[in-house]
């Protein structure tokens, strides 16, 4: 009896020792003396602090050998789902500052430190007439607010422009004057829209006062739009847009940027 007990104890010790040795050889086990923590790094895309002159950017990254999944985050938004993707494209970026954050993880659940890169988009060379944001994502039946902005202007007194849209997809609910040209307490604002033809016509101008014109970037008009159909819809300038200075001279418009409404 005692002999059998000794044999069982010996076999048990042998089995547990082998199991301990096996676990110790597991590269995902943090108790393994050769364990390497997960690490990630960007391999392409903007560098930290860089200013880019494009409205789209592609990021690529890699992790050490045992990383199986990654997740990313834009600015203060929620993290995207974990995936094995190692590239990501951001399109239709508005002017301004952005931050891209990246994290990786092992199958064991161990996660890397978060690495991030901050950069600035300066893709529009004014004077320009633009929609902001460039892209709005929403759902059918919802209403959204989109701004029409003058970008990087000098001595701007007035603006006139027409916008076309697909009336089977979008419906204009309201148009309001933005604050940019309301600089002296008085201003001119005339806006008409036709939801059958799919057209908008706007005239807005500062009126008199000690400061008859403005410099910089600001909102000319705010549009409240209802989305009636799923898909992608375009808000586009028709090419007749004008900027004027206080002497009623043309102010050149270097660029116009149309808007997109994406709904599902």
What domains are defined for the chain? 40-121 (2.60.40.10), 128-263 (2.60.40.680)
Helix, coil or strand: residue 67: coil
Helix, coil or strand: residue 165: coil
With b for 16 or more beta-carbon neighbours within 10 A and e for fewer, the 55-91 pattern comes to: bebebebebeebbebbbbbeeeeeeeeeeeebebebe
Query: Which helix (H) or strand (E) element contains residue 8?
Result: helix 2-24
Residue-wise pLDDT for 162-194, tens only, equals 999 999 999 999 999 999 999 877 889 999 999
Residues of the chain with pLDDT under 50: 1, 5-9, 11-12, 14-23
Q: Name the pTM for this structure.
A: 0.81
pLDDT given at position 209: 67
Residue-wise pLDDT for 35-77, tens only, equals 889 999 999 999 999 999 999 999 999 999 999 999 999 999 9
Least Cα distance to 98 among 61, 55, 137, 132 occurs for 55
Least Cα distance to 87 among 110, 64, 61, 67 occurs for 61
Separation between Cα atoms, residue 217 and residue 180, nearest integer Å: 8
Least Cα distance to 51 among 151, 137, 120 occurs for 120
Separation between Cα atoms, residue 56 and residue 35, nearest integer Å: 39
Look up residue 228 and give its DSSP letter.
-
């Amino acid at each position: 009896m005692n002999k059998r007990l000794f044999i069982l104890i010996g076999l048990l010790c042998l089995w547990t020792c082998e199991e301990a040795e096996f676990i110790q050889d597991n590269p995902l086990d943090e108790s393994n003396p050769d364990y390497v923590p997960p690490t990630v790094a960007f391999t392409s895309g903007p560098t930290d602090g860089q200013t880019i002159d494009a409205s789209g950017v592609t990021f690529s990254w890699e992790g050490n050998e045992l990383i199986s999944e990654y997740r990313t985050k834009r600015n203060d938004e929620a993290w995207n789902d974990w995936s094995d993707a190692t590239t990501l494209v951001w399109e239709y970026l508005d002017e301004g500052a952005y931050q891209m954050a990246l994290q990786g993880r092992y199958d064991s659940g161990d996660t890397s430190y978060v690495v991030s890169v901050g950069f600035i988009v300066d893709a529009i060379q004014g004077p320009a007439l633009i929609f902001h944001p460039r892209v709005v994502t929403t759902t059918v039946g919802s209403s959204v607010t989109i701004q029409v902005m003058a970008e990087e202007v000098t001595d701007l007194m007035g603006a006139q422009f027409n916008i076309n849209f697909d009336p089977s997809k979008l419906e204009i609910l309201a148009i309001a004057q933005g604050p940019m040209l309301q600089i002296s307490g008085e201003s001119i604002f005339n806006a008409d829209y036709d939801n059958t033809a799919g057209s908008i016509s706007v005239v807005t101008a500062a009126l008199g006062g000690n400061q008859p014109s403005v410099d910089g970037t600001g909102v000319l008009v705010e549009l409240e739009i209802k989305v009636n159909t799923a898909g992608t819809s375009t808000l586009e300038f028709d090419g007749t847009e004008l900027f004027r200075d206080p002497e009623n001279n043309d102010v050149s418009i270097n660029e116009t940027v149309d808007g997109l409404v994406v709904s599902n």
